[in-house]
Chains A and B, each alone.
Chain A
Amino acid sequence: MATVTEKLEGMDVWLYHGQIYIPNTFSAGAVGSRFLIELRDKKRIMGMRCPTCNRVYVPARSICKDCFEQLDEWVEVSDKGTVLTYATDYETKSIQPTGSPIVYGIIQLDGADTGFVHMLGEVDPEQLRVGMRVQAVFQKEREGSILDIKYFKPLA
């Protein structure tokens, strides 16, 4: 942590510049882990259906937001879907998964009732539009990460 002083009308005042380091290990849980394993091993995008309201959640989750049902009905949804909205970022930072420009999209996959947040690729920013049909492109080397889907590309 660097300590610097800055002048304030004839006296020094102290500012503390620092970076906070907090280790963490986030548990995906059994349901989240199975979702990731299906991506890694079978390139399948899995959702979970609520038996009460019939909604399909993607990514899969274990409890229905509306019904409070404990969910266990796994369903595979399509790797194709529709862009509901998007945003293009030309000033990316190191925390983000790819370089600039990065196009984020909310995609409703065919068979899902929820929006799926991911990136759009192989697309000219000029051609982007809401309602665009897209398809998942998987990484060759997959490790059980949401980024095992490289991005969604426009369907020809």
Chain B
Amino acid sequence: MANRVAIVGIGQTYHTSKRDDVNQPEMVAEAVRSALTDAQLSIRDIESVFTGNMETFEGIFLPDHGMAAEIGALGKPGFKVNTGGTTGASAVAEGFYMVSSGLYDISMVIGFEKQDCGDTTAAISAAAVPVWAKGAATGAIGEFAKQALSYMEITGGTEEHAAMVRVKADKGACRNPYAHLKLGLQSIDEVLQSPYLVWPLRLLDFCPQSCGACALILATEKKAKKIHKKPVWLADVEVVHQEPFRAGVFGDPTGKETYTQHVACEKIYKRNNITDVRKQIDMAEIYEPSNWEELNLYEHLHFCKKGESWKLIEKGITEIEGEFPVNPSGGVISTNPIGATPVIRVAEAALQIRGDAGEHQVTRDTKTAIATALGGPNWTVMFLLKRSL
């Protein structure tokens, strides 16, 4: 039987386009100090440190190279993971494995990305596999445009529905002190007037490139109760792999029905006896680089029946004050420091459970939440968080 694991410290930087005032390690240190303050721990209490960063996005190799001081890792075990969009979630999963296995009592996981240093789309395209991918390399935008088209064709959802999701995200971001894009959108018309990047994806339909870091401190049950008066339990974790260049598996040639999300849900919901997601789970922080993808995810994560996700946004169900809030933080479409992004999903879900989300605290009393991540290789990482076990 694995040990129980709780989040006992949460810290993030503010997120923005440019951080000329700090180098990358210094930016990461801000999140580390913030998590230590939240946990009221000293760096000496941290036994191991695991990091996540999308190497090549900053145009240097081993961005964690000169970072032992800034993450407090001198002489400690730990390593960096890089799994595409899920990178930060892989780091959280790694920390979870380490603590639940009993190897360490207190571990820190950190996700970071300083996108003012590099060119994410250039890195994705330039370093793509030459044989299958390089000729068709469009970065992430083309990929999500294709998903948006499939979504419209199959479900009958419209650009107006996607625009409603975008306005919802902005409402959350404007209330979240750490969020990057705070546009103050008043109506869906502002979204529908934004120019197309790759039809049907508009400029406002896609996430920004952000600089930022997010750190979590994880502890065993015994330590957790002493460290924080409101520990949040990482009740379950699932990591599902796929390969990126043969998207259509199992009768789904468009890749819309993301296989890994299906597998992750099946496992997590089954193990935790969840049959009615919106009833048994109180809110979700999901990985939606585009508002269109959020609509897709409502279905894939079983928040609604197939083809009905646009009804959730139409009825306001996923709004902050709605029956089942999704991404009250403003989500990935407002803030995307790649390696940090999935860690932020977990952090934000945990803040909701603690009741510490401040202005963007959801109306529904949150005892249980899910956080998810997806990435380039079509991998899914999914977490179930709880206030009490």
- Contact A23/B130 with A32-B23, A63-B70, A68-B69 known, Cβ cut-off 8 Å: no
A: interface residue count bin: 20 to 34
The distance from the CB of B349 to the nearest CB of chain A, in whole angstroms, is 28
Contact status A29-B126, CB under 8 Å: no
Interface: B153 (CB within 8 A): no
Interface: A90 (CB within 8 A): no
B215-236, CB < 8 A from A = none
Contact status A21-B126, CB under 8 Å: yes
Closest to B68 in A: A65
Q: How far is the CA of A20 from the CA of B56 in the complex (A)?
A: 11
Interface: B116 (CB within 8 A): yes
- Contact A22/B23 with A27-B114, A63-B69, A66-B74 known, Cβ cut-off 8 Å: no
What residues of A have a CB within 8 angstroms of the CB of B56 in the complex? 22
Interface: A8 (CB within 8 A): no
Contact status B43-A68, CB under 8 Å: yes
Closest to B134 in A: A1
Contact status A28-B23, CB under 8 Å: yes
Total of A-B residue pairs, C-beta within 8 Å: 73
Contact status A63-B26, CB under 8 Å: yes
Most buried by B among A1, A20, A28: A20
Q: How far is the CA of A28 from the CA of B22 in the complex (A)?
A: 7
Contact status B60-A24, CB under 8 Å: yes
Partner of A27, one of B23, B119, B131: B23
Closest to A19 in B: B126
Q: How far is the CA of A26 from the CA of B22 in the complex (A)?
A: 10
Contact status A61-B118, CB under 8 Å: no
- Contact A30/B29 with A20-B127, A21-B126, A24-B117 known, Cβ cut-off 8 Å: no
What residues of B have a CB within 8 angstroms of the CB of A68 in the complex? 43, 69, 72
What residues of A have a CB within 8 angstroms of the CB of B26 in the complex? 29, 31, 62-63
Partner of B118, one of A1, A23, A62: A23
Q: How far is the CA of A61 from the CA of B24 in the complex (A)?
A: 12
Contact status A27-B116, CB under 8 Å: yes
The distance from the CB of A23 to the nearest CB of chain B, in whole angstroms, is 5
Contact status A26-B59, CB under 8 Å: yes
What residues of B have a CB within 8 angstroms of the CB of A22 in the complex? 56, 59, 118-119, 122-123, 126-127
The distance from the CB of A14 to the nearest CB of chain B, in whole angstroms, is 7
Interface: B58 (CB within 8 A): yes
Interface: A18 (CB within 8 A): yes
What residues of A have a CB within 8 angstroms of the CB of B131 in the complex? 14, 16
Contact status A26-B60, CB under 8 Å: yes
Q: How far is the CA of A24 from the CA of B61 in the complex (A)?
A: 11
Q: How far is the CA of A24 from the CA of B131 in the complex (A)?
A: 25
Q: How far is the CA of A28 from the CA of B20 in the complex (A)?
A: 8
Interface: A103 (CB within 8 A): no
The distance from the CB of B25 to the nearest CB of chain A, in whole angstroms, is 8
The distance from the CB of B55 to the nearest CB of chain A, in whole angstroms, is 11
What residues of B have a CB within 8 angstroms of the CB of A63 in the complex? 25-26, 29, 69-70
Contact status B118-A29, CB under 8 Å: no
Contact status B130-A27, CB under 8 Å: no
Residue positions of B touching A, CB distance < 8 A:
19-26, 29, 43, 56, 58-60, 68-70, 72, 74, 114, 116-119, 122-123, 126-127, 130-131, 134
5 nearest interchain CB pairs? A24-B59, A29-B23, A16-B130, A65-B69, A68-B43
